[in-house]
Each structure stands twice: as C-alpha cells, then as structure tokens.
Amino acid sequence: MSWKILINDGMEESGVNALKSLGFEVDTQKIPQEELSQKLQDYQGIIVRSATKVRQELMDVCPGLKFIARGGVGMDNIDVSYAKEKGIAVINTPAASSRSVAELAMAHLLSITRGLQDANRQFSGGDQFSALKKKWSTCSELQGKTLLLLGFGRIGSELAKMATAMGMTVIVNDPYVEKAILKIKLGTQEVEIQLQMVSREEGLPLADYVSLHTPYTGSALLGTDEFAIIKKGCFVVNTSRGENIDEDALLNALDSGKVSAAGLDVFQNEPHIKEALIHHPKICTSAHIGASTLEAQERIAGELVDKINEIGRAHV
C-alpha cells in the first residue's frame, strides 16, 4: 500500500510498526494546526486524537485524503458529515478505551467523596496532622448513594457495573437509549439488570452523584438551570467533554455549597484552563487522561490498524 499517513497526535509504537508492515508510509512528526492546510495535501490519511481539528476548510484543500482516523471515541474535532459527503472515510475506536475512562470516572468519584484532592494538597505531618485528620473524618461512602449517569453508552455502562458493585443505585438519562440494561457476569453466568430511566429534570434532584458520558451536542448538560435543581450536596464528575458543563455555573455551585465537589478530566478551551478550576479545593483534576492507559492505547492502536487496512484494501 503506497498511501502516506500522518499520525499527528501520537500513536503506540506497535500500531506505527503494524501500519509500516502493511506497506503504508507513516509520518509521526506533528504538524501544527495552522500548517496542515498546506502540508496535509501530501497525505492520503490522517490519524488524530482530540488536539488536531479536521474541518471542512482543511478537507477542501486536501483532495487526496482517503480517511480520517480518531484514536478514541468522540469526534467533535472532525466534521464527520462533510467528510462522508466528500467520500472520505471516518473511523474511531469506540470500544477500546471504555474501561479506562470508566475506571478514571470511578477514581474521581472515590477521590471527591473522601476529599482526597484537598487532602493531597494540604497533607503534612507534625502539628497539621491531627487537624487534617479531623477535617476529613466526616466524609461519607458510595454505598447506598444514587448515581445519575448522563449518557449510557459503552463508558456509562462500564461505570454502572462498577457503581453497582460498590452498592450504589444507578439511574440513567439518555435520550438515545430506550432501555438501560446492565449485563453483569457472575462466574459463568450473565445477569441482566434493568436500570431506571429518568429525564434530567427528574434525575438531578434525586442524585447524590452525577457523571457525564455523552458527546457535546452544542449546549451544556449542566448549566445554571440544572445546578438550580440539582440535589444539594451532590457530587459531579465529567470525563466526557469540557463543554458539557458550564464552568462558571459549576464554580458558583461549588462556592455556594449546592455542589459538594467535582472531579474533572476535561475542560473548555484545553489546554488553557481556568485557574479557578485548577486550584479550587473542591475540584479534583486530571489532564484529559481518561483513555491514557497502556492497555487502552494498545487496543486503540490495534483497532485503528485493522480499520485502516480494511479501507486500504477496499481501494486496491
């Protein structure tokens, strides 16, 4: 295969080597966004993560482009419909990172429940030790609490399994899902549990925890109106898209005590993140690392190679 592929946001070495072994010419040197309109014209394929944007204007000046591959789930940074109109294949890896993102969401749930984000910043020995021990001795547990999932795709359902195992009650809001069926393996048997479906307006006043697992569709899922009806003392976790939460509204809810704490892996305008979010004592932060595990990256690379090979063979 004589196609030239640009891997612009990085890829596991195993995937790079696999593409080369299939005959593709691979370039892993990152090209800045502002230079892509000129330099991408030499390539037949581009592999991106969330940093590089592939919009209509870029496709229009790259007539030789055969495919756009996204290493991950969301494709907000790609004009998918326009690409398909132009006959450009668009692929992603929706299943590869689900477990990793769900585990990070659970880590945030546990961290903000026990106040670990603030404890880690303040922890010291000596005279401070007893005072800090007393400060965080009033935290609660996940068991017996209600978790509202905004989105019940692969990641949401993975988190639902973990939350159920922790003894939480899971309720679901997803306009694209008719029934929220959770499949759990117990030994050699598979058990199905039907979770309660609710509207956002119904679920927010009930939930002790809210976790977001949907792509951004043009408006925030949690804004001023939603924080007005959310259960007082609720905990919020976002590992989906930063735009899904109105950050100013979240800060107001945290400062007023309406929201107890938040765990954020994603932000608006990354990497230019508001200082108030980074340093807030009630916010546990991570740097958009939901899919950044060794296992997920290997799965992503393998899935992309298989799909790109299929596209290449179809053009022979």
CA dist., res. 121 & res. 106, Å (int): 20
Q: Is residue 71 classed exposed, middle or buried when 0-12, 13-18 and 19+ CB atoms within 10 A define those classes?
A: buried
Active site residue 288: yes
Which residue among 241, 247, 280, 303 is the active-site one? 241
Instruction: Tell me the CA distances in angstroms from 3 to 13, 19, 161, one per residue in order.
Output: 19, 10, 42
Q: Which of 242, 253, 255 is nearest to 281 (CA)?
A: 255
Which residue among 70, 154, 288, 299 is the active-site one? 288
CA dist., res. 277 & res. 283, Å (int): 7
Give the chain's largest Cα–Cα span: 72
Q: Is residue 283 classed exposed, middle or buried when 0-12, 13-18 and 19+ CB atoms within 10 A define those classes?
A: buried
Instruction: Tell me the CA distances in angstroms from 48 to 38, 43, 78, 251, 290, one per residue in order.
Output: 17, 13, 9, 32, 16
Active site residue 315: no
Active site residue 241: yes
Which residue among 13, 201, 270, 295 is the active-site one? 270
Angle of helix 294-314 relative to helix 13-21, nearest 10 degrees, comes to 20
Give catalytic residue positions.
241, 270, 288
